[in-house]
Amino acid sequence: MQDMAEVTEADPVAHNLSRRNILKFAGAGVAATSLAATSLTASGAAWAQVPEEAKTEPLDIVRKGIDKAFEVFNIDILEEQAKKVYSEGTYVFVANGAGRQWTLRENQRAWDDYALTPNRMNGIVRDKIDLSVTLLGEKLPHPFIVTPFGSHGLHHPAAELATARGAAKSGSLLCVSSASTASMEDIAKASQGPKWFQVYLDVDEGFSREVLQRAKAAGFKAIILTVDSIGQGSSDEYERRGKPRPWLPYGNFPAGRQTRFKTDLSWDDVEMIHKVTGLPVVVKGLTRPEDARAAIAAGAGAVQVSNHGGRALDGTPASITVLAPIAEEVKGEVPIIMDSGIRRGTDVVKALARGADAVAIGRPLMYGLTLGGARGVDSVIKYFHTETVDTVLHCGVDKIAALGNAHVRHV
């Protein structure tokens, strides 16, 4: 990696954000290099993977990397600021969901179907509230997980390396996508924080096994099998624009190899992953209680309630809507993680009260990465931490493990 250059307020992005006084930067830090010089090595990331028609797209994200902390008080405002940094096509790709985006909107609207029921006069000391959770043997200081999200290079020149460092600042669990810009080996070395690896199985089982073996060798502690993206959707608007985003190499695939994700997934694949790696398997993308039961029967160590942030299939219910029936079916046999549509600490508490053990966050962290690099990621996590603690305090309990149906009601 090239020498890091200092970012100053002369940087146009930093200057404009500071002038708007919406995100209060806590100071300048180190900068990353251009994306082309970022440490995206081991597994042969190369332009040979990029469609010819996309190679002429201006890669306007290749800029000085920013590493700044700032105060976050609203994710919608954070998104507005990140939108000014993205190219229009990249923003549409990142922020939009599939089809008409009903599910994307429903993921956020559905939080309003549930009301918190504060419980007073319980003598709770705010600074002693315990947000810790244990997932698959890993004790974590809080329940906020960085969900697997592909191509972090679209957001910051240091890509997943910056995300890893930002997540590690608070001890967050980082879930690394097999569609990462950086290689899994480089990401594993970027921080000492806990990490899981997400896999899209390939039609070539031998190649899938190689990827899984690499993940274990790199030190990842669990494997996430995503089962809801067997046909990746895109929004009507993104299609109308001609899919106008920069195409980045995938750091975990050999140069020139076209990705061929398997669509005929079965519960036997869970068993295969466990046999190859010996690691716990998290089945991500479930919205039905019977699928959660089948995942457990197949040996899953955890399940993730998710509709892929509205990106896989439009017209499916919000994750919070289907969470409680799945929790009732699982009955604590394995941990439940929930993602899709989480924007506030109040959302986090509602999810935990309805049966989740932890929540996975995607787009908000990518907006933080875009605006502040590693420290931007940490800033977003701090936002969720602060608002979650405040909400738990109002619920009248001193630990998230005590949250339950008594603290939220369906309206």
The answer to whether the beta carbons of residues 198 and 221 sit under 8 Å apart is no
The answer to whether the beta carbons of residues 144 and 361 sit under 8 Å apart is yes
Residue closest to 160 by CA, chosen among 186, 192, 138, 141:
186
Q: Whose structure tokens read 């959302």?
A: 347
Rounded to 5, what percent of the chain is helix, strand, coil? 40, 15, 45
Q: Whose structure tokens read 């975990």?
A: 252
The first and second tokens of residue 197, run together, are 């690896």
Own/partner long-range contacts of 187-190 (Cβ < 8 Å, ≥24 apart): 187/160, 187/161, 188/218, 188/219, 188/220, 190/160, 190/161, 190/164, 190/165
CB neighbour burial string for 322-354, b if at least 16 within 10 angstroms, e if fewer: bbbbbbebbeeebbbbbbbbbbbbbbbbbbbbb
Q: Exposed (0-12), middle (13-18) or buried (19+): which is 234, by Cβ within 10 Å?
A: middle
The C-alpha atoms of residue 259 and residue 263 are separated, in whole angstroms, by 12
The C-alpha atoms of residue 127 and residue 285 are separated, in whole angstroms, by 35
The answer to whether the beta carbons of residues 38 and 340 sit under 8 Å apart is no
Chain-centroid distance of CA 18 in Å reads 27
Q: Is 308 a catalytic residue?
A: yes
Contacts of 139 (CB under 8 A, 6+ apart): 132, 133
Helix (H, G, I), strand (E, B) or coil at 171: coil
DSSP-assigned states of every residue in 285-306: EE-SHHHHHHHHHTT-SEEEE-
φ/ψ (deg, to 5) at 38:
-65, 155
Amino acid sitting at position 81: Q
Residue closest to 173 by CA, chosen among 127, 225, 221:
221
State the catalytic residue, choosing from 308, 385, 394, 407.
Answer: 308
Q: Which residues carry out catalysis?
A: 308
